[in-house]
């Protein structure tokens, strides 16, 4: 079966979710472009959007239309070529509108797993729960006679565990998109010793066609991305807990968030990132990693407390941030949750005091936004970190400590065999997390 | 000319769009009525109020698509209630609409119908993304060619001209001339507070302009820096008889005189005979100079229609400033810079000042009025006493409608 034939019938499980909807979008675009290039009849390619929530599915079309429009606007030159044979489509606006309908026409909404029984490719982006995933794969495998390949978007569950559990016999690969899949360029690709070589080749071609950058990760819980993020988060939490001996915990959380955001020139602070990922998702990942790695350190009382208080973070369908450890206005934290009082406290009540106590970043500091657009940022970063190292302010000292720990996590990912090399760790942080430098660098040497 | 015609009381709004610090595409912006009022009211004030204005004419290309508004002539008394029931019309000739508005005013004064005509050019284009704006701007060409044309139809047409020119006269030298054209445009715009590129701070403009074109997302031979801006803006000027000037209380030294004009059109459904030439501009310029009894070397400064860098180079040749195939050298030598032998587009032209399409012809006229009357501020160039003349070349479509006007201090 050729690459194109494999894509004749695809299913996305969890298609209405945050990751699933993005995967659905990209797959629909790829299938449509293949069909237009090969002049196949409409209806010859099917994409099943399967989700347990019919309410969420019903909201998909609006999301998809908006996203397809944005993509079509950017590739209008290509689209004019693809539709050159259709003499009714003359203006850009006609072509874009037609393309939106063309892409949408492939997508069949469904709440039933049965819809995937004809598929040759199955994307899975459901809840981060190994047993649920395995049950679903088993059920599909039993009823699908097309020898399907499974692509799992899991960010933590070992692929070999899913393979073994569902008896997929190497017909599964880890294909981990970053959030949001339509925008983020990184895909972590996790093949096991058993993974079908044809499947690996197909996955590489697919990632290339979706304009994604592949980083291979080895089959350890959390892979590279969460392998770093989760440990980085736990370090941030422990730093905040330590600071809480001096300041109260909510103020310490604010301080560590600011240090990991501003002082380390990252796109967001570590607690903001936790909210972005979703605190419930973070807890699931922690559970998976703790049990598989048999490492009791992979646990956080703070996260447990937040979840039991019903604080989950994550995003609204429009991409805005739901309340997590922070409440946000226009994307900026304005209040922080106090786990003892079980209520949010305005940052205003202590911000000036804490900012004064931790001090400012060194003089050459620039915000992340300015650095990320400058491709020649190595010279600047080297200088900035040397200033950071020489600075006496508590904020700078904590930032140095934080960065060195992040570097240590990166090195351990290579030592433990999760990543093949330092370059792969750095690429994941640069591409998947939009950092302006990889954690393993010589800036503080 | 059967009688003396003067221009005075010019005004330009800011050319609004990307490049301006205050521009935010996500925020609600002023509409076409705002621009008409700002420009029109400024000129009306300078001529002593609406009572002194006999007639209005509004040059606009395609507001009916960009902002869903046609029938712009009837905005006249929205600009000033004192103009209610006075004659007014909108004129259109694609990007030469502004030039046509000025001509329309000249003709009215010539026939004796009016002594003071308020001519305004206006366009609002940031209402839609460029990919949709390209459809609307495409109406300036032959729609029969649209299907086979580029997504960005006009950049595509001028990219074809650039490709043909590269093949005939060499790519590298010509691209370098494009880059110098861009640099001159931006440096001039930095001297003019209403220019869209007024805030531009790029240090190495030539390197930026030499960015390789990417045919996957844009055209084969032109990059974004080779193109004029997407702009919102309006310009206005008063066209007066001698009596009109007196009535408005305007000193002769604050006005410029029309020496001659020409309006030349070519068949919109036909491709250019020679894509390396702008033959309609050539004829229009030569006619206007001939009726003025002048040679191109008598002109002190020119506002020409650089909707694309290649159009700038080809215009230089069409005007006879350089021989065919030598326009690139002429630009590379610095002849068109503000200190060169013929300063061109002294406030940045369509690439630097901006290109609110239907307003451009009026803006060019205002720019010449400012230069010849010494009102150009930081962008003022030297106008030698021996050649007190300026000229505008306003082009509609791909060299299909051309308005050329020669002015005297």
Contacts of B218 in chain A (CB under 8 A): 77
Counted across chains A and B, CB pairs separated by less than 8 A come out at 31
**Shortest Cα–Cα distance, B143 to chain A (Å):** 9
- CB atoms A96 and B216 under 8 Å: no
Considering only CA atoms, which of B157, B156, B101 is closest in space to residue B360? B101
**pLDDT score, position A41:** 82
**pLDDT score, position A43:** 81
- CB atoms B147 and A92 under 8 Å: no
**pLDDT score, position A445:** 85
End-to-end Cα distance, chain B: 16
- Residues of chain A with confidence (pLDDT) below 70: 375-376
Element (H, E) at B40: helix B32-46
Mutation pick from B147, B148, B159, B214 vs chain A, by most beta carbons of A within 10 Å, is B147
Considering only CA atoms, which of B219, B195, B247 is closest in space to residue B353? B195
CA dist A43 and A28 (Å) reads 13
Considering only CA atoms, which of B21, B17, B381 is closest in space to residue B201? B21
Helix (H, G, I), strand (E, B) or coil at B114: coil
Query: Token match 């302006």: residue?
Result: A436
- CB atoms B216 and A78 under 8 Å: yes
Considering only CA atoms, which of A337, A266, A282 is closest in space to residue A314? A282
CB A48 within 8 A of CB A12: yes
* Pairing mode of beta strands A46-50, A107-110: parallel
The domain limits of chain B are: 6-129+230-253
In A184-325 the beta strands, taken as DSSP E runs, fall at 186-190, 213-216
- CB atoms B135 and A87 under 8 Å: no
CA distances from A341 to A179, A302, B230 (A): 32, 14, 55
Mean pLDDT of chain B: 97
Helix (H, G, I), strand (E, B) or coil at A81: helix
Strand partners, B396: B401
Q: Does domain B6-129+230-253 have CATH number 3.40.1390.10?
A: no
> What band does B269 get if pLDDT is binned at 50, 70 and 90?
very high
pLDDT in tens, B199-234: 999 999 999 999 999 999 999 999 999 999 999 999
- CB atoms A77 and B151 under 8 Å: yes
Residue A91: which of B135, B150, B215 has the nearest Cβ?
Answer: B135
Contacts of A80 in chain B (CB under 8 A): 150-151
- CB atoms B129 and A78 under 8 Å: no
Q: What φ, ψ does residue A422 adopt, rounded to 5°?
A: -60, -35
Considering only CA atoms, which of B78, B383, B100, B394 is closest in space to residue B253? B383
- CB atoms A77 and B132 under 8 Å: no
pLDDT in tens, A343-393: 999 999 999 999 999 999 999 999 999 999 876 688 999 999 999 999 999
- CB atoms A92 and B218 under 8 Å: no
CB A174 within 8 A of CB A133: no
**pLDDT score, position A317:** 72
Q: Which A-chain residues 25-84 have CB contacts (< 8 A) with chain B?
A: 73-80
- Is some CB atom of chain B closer than 8 A to the CB atom of A309? no
- Is some CB atom of chain B closer than 8 A to the CB atom of A92? yes
pLDDT in tens, B51-90: 999 999 999 999 999 999 999 999 999 999 999 999 999 9
| Dihedral sign of CA atoms A384, A388, A389, A392 in order | positive
Contacts of B222 in chain A (CB under 8 A): none
CA dist B309 and A100 (Å) reads 35
Contacts of B138 in chain A (CB under 8 A): 91
Those residues with Cβ within 8 angstroms of residue B216's Cβ, 6 or more apart along the chain or in another chain: A77, A78
**pLDDT score, position A299:** 95
CB B235 within 8 A of CB B359: yes
Mutation pick from A69, A80, A87, A92 vs chain B, by most beta carbons of B within 10 Å, is A92
| Interval B99-104 mean pLDDT | 98
Angle, helices B153-169 vs B171-189, to 10°: value is 130
Nearest CA in chain B to A88: B147
pLDDT in tens, B17-35: 999 999 998 899 999 999 9
Contacts of A99 in chain B (CB under 8 A): none
Residue A92: which of B132, B216, B217 has the nearest Cβ?
Answer: B132
ipTM for the whole complex: 0.94
- CB atoms A77 and B215 under 8 Å: yes
Contacts of B27 in chain A (CB under 8 A): none
CB B347 within 8 A of CB B188: yes
pLDDT in tens, A81-116: 999 999 999 999 999 999 999 999 999 999 999 999
Mutation pick from A69, A76, A96, A330 vs chain B, by most beta carbons of B within 10 Å, is A76
Residue A90: which of B131, B132, B146 has the nearest Cβ?
Answer: B146
CA dist A151 and A389 (Å) reads 44
Q: Is the pLDDT score of B137 beyond 90?
A: yes
CA dist A217 and B352 (Å) reads 49
**pLDDT score, position A185:** 93
CA dist B103 and A129 (Å) reads 75
Contacts of A87 in chain B (CB under 8 A): 147
In B220-336 the beta strands, taken as DSSP E runs, fall at 232-240, 256-265, 299-303
Nearest CA in chain A to B128: A93
CA dist B302 and B367 (Å) reads 9
- CB atoms B150 and A90 under 8 Å: no
* Chain B contact residues (CB < 8 Å to A): 129, 131-132, 134-135, 138, 143, 146-147, 150-151, 215-218
Give the pair of three-digit tokens for residue A173. 């690969």
Considering only CA atoms, which of B185, B247, B214, B263 is closest in space to residue B19? B185
Those residues with Cβ within 8 angstroms of residue B214's Cβ, 6 or more apart along the chain or in another chain: B223
- Tell me the percentage of chain B whose pLDDT exceeds 90: 99
| Interval B110-133 mean pLDDT | 97
Strand partners, B236: B11, B120
Contacts of B215 in chain A (CB under 8 A): 77
Which domains does chain A possess? 3-216 (3.40.50.720), 225-432 (1.10.1040.10)
Helix (H, G, I), strand (E, B) or coil at A302: helix
Q: Which A-chain residues 289-308 have CB contacts (< 8 A) with chain B?
A: none
Considering only CA atoms, which of B167, B168, B188, B166 is closest in space to residue B177? B166
**pLDDT score, position A375:** 65
> What band does B353 get if pLDDT is binned at 50, 70 and 90?
very high
CA dist A187 and A185 (Å) reads 7
**pLDDT score, position A1:** 86
């Amino acid at each position: 079966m050729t690459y194109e034939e494999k894509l004749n019938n695809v299913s996305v499980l969890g298609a209405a979710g945050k990751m699933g909807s993005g995967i659905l979008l990209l797959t629909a675009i790829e299938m449509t472009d293949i069909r237009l290039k090969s002049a196949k009849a409409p209806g010859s390619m099917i994409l099943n959007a399967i989700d347990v929530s019919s309410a969420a599915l019903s909201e998909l079309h609006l999301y998809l239309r908006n996203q397809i429009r944005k993509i079509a606007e950017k590739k209008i030159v290509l689209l004019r070529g693809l539709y050159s044979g259709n003499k009714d489509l003359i203006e850009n606006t006609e072509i874009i509108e037609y393309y939106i309908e063309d892409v949408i026409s492939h997508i069949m909404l469904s709440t039933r797993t049965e819809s995937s029984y004809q598929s040759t490719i199955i994307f899975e982006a459901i809840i981060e729960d190994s047993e649920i995933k395995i049950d679903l794969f088993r059920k599909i495998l039993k009823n699908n006679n097309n020898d399907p390949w499974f692509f799992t978007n899991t960010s933590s569950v070992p692929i070999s565990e899913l393979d073994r559990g569902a008896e997929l016999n190497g017909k599964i690969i880890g294909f981990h998109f970053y959030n949001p899949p339509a925008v983020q360029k990184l895909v972590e690709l996790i093949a096991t010793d058993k993974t079908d070589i044809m499947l690996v080749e197909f996955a590489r071609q697919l990632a290339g066609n979706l304009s994604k950058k592949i980083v291979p990760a080895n089959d350890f819980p959390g892979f590279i991305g969460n392998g770093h993020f989760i440990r980085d988060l736990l370090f941030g939490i422990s730093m905040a807990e330590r600071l809480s001996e001096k300041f109260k915990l909510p103020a310490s959380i604010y301080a560590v968030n600011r240090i990991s955001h501003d002082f380390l020139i990252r796109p967001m602070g570590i607690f903001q990132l936790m909210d972005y990922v979703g605190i419930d998702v973070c807890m699931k990942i922690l559970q998976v990693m703790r049990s598989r790695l048999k490492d009791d350190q992979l646990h956080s009382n703070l996260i447990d407390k937040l979840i039991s208080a019903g604080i989950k973070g994550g995003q609204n369908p429009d991409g805005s941030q739901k309340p997590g450890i922070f409440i946000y206005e226009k994307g900026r934290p304005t209040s922080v949750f106090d786990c003892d009082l079980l209520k949010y406290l305005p940052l205003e009540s202590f911000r000036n005091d804490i900012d004064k106590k931790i001090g400012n970043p060194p003089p050459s500091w620039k915000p992340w936004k300015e650095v990320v657009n400058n491709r020649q940022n190595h010279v600047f970063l080297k200088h900035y970190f040397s200033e950071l190292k020489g600075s006496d302010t508590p904020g700078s000292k904590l930032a140095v400590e934080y960065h060195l720990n992040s570097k240590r996590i990166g090195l351990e990912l290579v030592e433990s065999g999760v990543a093949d090399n330092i370059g792969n760790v750095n690429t994941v942080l640069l591409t998947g997390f939009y950092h302006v430098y990889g954690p393993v660098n010589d800036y503080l040497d | 000319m059967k009688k003396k015609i003067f221009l005075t009381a010019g005004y330009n709004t800011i050319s609004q769009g990307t490049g301006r610090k205050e521009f935010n595409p996500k925020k609600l912006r002023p509409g076409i009525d705002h621009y008409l009022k700002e420009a029109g009211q400024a000129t009306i004030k300078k001529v002593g109020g609406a009572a002194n204005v006999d007639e209005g004419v509004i040059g606009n290309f395609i507001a009916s698509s960009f902002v869903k508004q046609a029938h712009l002539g009837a905005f006249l008394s929205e600009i000033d209630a004192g103009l209610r029931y006075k004659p007014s019309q909108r004129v259109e000739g694609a990007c030469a609409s502004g030039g046509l508005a000025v001509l329309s005013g000249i003709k009215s004064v010539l026939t004796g119908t009016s002594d003071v005509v308020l001519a305004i050019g206006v366009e609002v284009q940031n209402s839609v993304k460029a990919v949709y704006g390209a459809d609307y701007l495409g109406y300036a060409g032959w729609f029969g060619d649209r299907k086979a044309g580029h997504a960005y139809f006009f950049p595509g047409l001028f990219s074809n001209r650039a490709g043909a020119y590269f093949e005939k006269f060499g790519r590298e030298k010509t691209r370098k001339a494009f880059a110098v054209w861009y640099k001159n445009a931006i440096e001039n715009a930095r001297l003019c507070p209403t220019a869209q590129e007024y805030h531009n701070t790029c240090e190495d403009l030539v390197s930026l302009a030499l960015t390789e074109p990417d045919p996957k997302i844009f055209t084969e031979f032109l990059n974004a820096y080779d193109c004029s801006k997407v702009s919102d803006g309006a310009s206005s000027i008063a066209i007066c008889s001698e009596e009109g000037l007196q009535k408005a209380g305007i000193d002769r030294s604050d006005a410029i005189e029309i020496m001659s004009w020409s309006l030349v059109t070519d068949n919109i459904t036909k491709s250019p005979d020679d894509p390396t030439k702008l033959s309609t501009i050539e004829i229009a310029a030569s006619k206007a100079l001939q009726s003025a009894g002048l040679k191109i070397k008598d002109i002190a400064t020119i506002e020409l229609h650089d909707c694309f860098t290649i159009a700038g180079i080809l215009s230089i040749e069409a005007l006879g400033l350089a021989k065919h195939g030598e326009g690139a050298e002429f630009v590379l030598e610095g002849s068109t810079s503000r200190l060169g032998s013929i300063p061109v587009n002294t406030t940045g032209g369509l690439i630097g000042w901006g290109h609110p399409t239907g307003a451009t012809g009026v803006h060019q006229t205002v720019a010449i009025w400012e230069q010849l009357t010494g009102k150009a501020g930081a962008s003022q160039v030297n106008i030698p006493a021996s050649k007190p003349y300026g000229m505008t070349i306003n082009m509609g479509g791909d060299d299909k409608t051309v308005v050329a006007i020669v002015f005297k201090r």
